[in-house]
Amino acid sequence: MTEATVNVPKKKHSILIGPGGANINRIREACGSGFQITIPGRTDESDEVKLSGTPAQIEIAKEKINELLTPVSRYVMGEVSVPKELHWAVIGEKGKNIQKIKANSSVQAIIVPKVDEVSDIIKIQASTQQQIEQAKQMIESFVSQHQQKTLEADELYKKYRKQTQIHAENRKKYFDAAADAYKAGNRAEAAELSKKGKHEHHKMLKSQNHAAMKIFKAKNKDSLACGNIDLHGLHARESVALVNIYLYKFQKKGRQSATIICGKGLHSEGAAVIKPSIIEFLDSKGFKYVEDVEHGSIVVSF
């Protein structure tokens, strides 16, 4: 016969015994003939539960004891994949969207990866699978709402950038004509055409700034409150100027970090140009940051 002891907190001895000795009897039945288990009496403060039997019986007893004392989870877990750069749309300003999801679906917790964690997976803890599915639907709805706003912002981009392009083309037309007039000796005409070209240049810059602010406000209507700066649709110079403004505002408000969304650089005029410009700016100002290459964003720490 082999003897062994298992430490079981005194307050859990009643669980080990079970109603009317049901649990301890099940252990004995599982271990078979000749096995003995001894639990300290009520006046004995010892935590040691003594086991006596063959080595195999003792191992079975230990497994059964562990099963009884390990609480079965009351929750089920679910998860949904949301691009990292859209997690803010799920969280909402000061966590308002998360609170709304929890209130409406009755889930226990929604676990969003930390800012510096490279993961798209949002985890959901609930009592039932039905609650998890309801939470998933709400999460997908918030993401869909943001994507719809993105489409609207893209239309704004086409609208406002088109006007800027018209002024740029007019500027070129007048400057080219001025150069031709000057070469032909028509200096007065050249001066007049050059003046018109400069006027178109000023109108182009004004239109460019107007377009940048319209696009930026449309893209960042909700995200700025969550510490996210979305630069889609902007040019490099515009992006640096706006990042400079809003990083300063975030610092004044006491935020600990900010996420700059540049995109993945799929277009030559997009993140492939913007991101290096932003990094150069951050380096020049001494900001601490981490690049999220997969999602085309930069997390700045204050």
Cα 197 off chain centre by: 47
pLDDT given at position 268? 40
- The DSSP secondary structure of 209-270, one letter per residue, reads HHHHHHHHHHHTTTTGGGTEEE-TT--HHHHHHHHHHHHHHHHHTT-SEEEEE-----STTT
Q: Are 106 and 53 in contact (CB under 8 A)?
A: no
pLDDT in tens, 129-154: 999 999 999 999 999 988 887 777 77
- The DSSP secondary structure of 123-185, one letter per residue, reads EEEESSHHHHHHHHHHHHHHHHHHHHHHHHHHHHHHHHHHHHHHHHHHHHHHHHHHHHHHHTT
Domain residue limits, the chain: 2-69, 76-143, 227-302
- Separation CA 219–CA 242 (nearest Å): 13
Angle at which helix 187-219 crosses helix 236-252, to 10 degrees, equals 40
The single-letter code of the amino acid at 266 is: L
Cα 69 off chain centre by: 37
- Separation CA 282–CA 233 (nearest Å): 20
Q: Are 204 and 235 in contact (CB under 8 A)?
A: no
- pTM of the shown model: 0.53
Range 76-143 has CATH code 2.30.40.10: no
- Separation CA 282–CA 290 (nearest Å): 11
CATH of domain 227-302: 3.30.1370.110
pLDDT given at position 243? 96
- Separation CA 58–CA 2 (nearest Å): 8
pLDDT in tens, 62-76: 999 988 888 666 788
Ranges of residues in the chain whose predicted pLDDT is under 70? 71-73, 263-271, 294-295
Q: Do domains 2-69 and 227-302 have the same CATH topology?
A: yes
CATH of domain 2-69: 3.30.1370.10
pLDDT given at position 294? 64
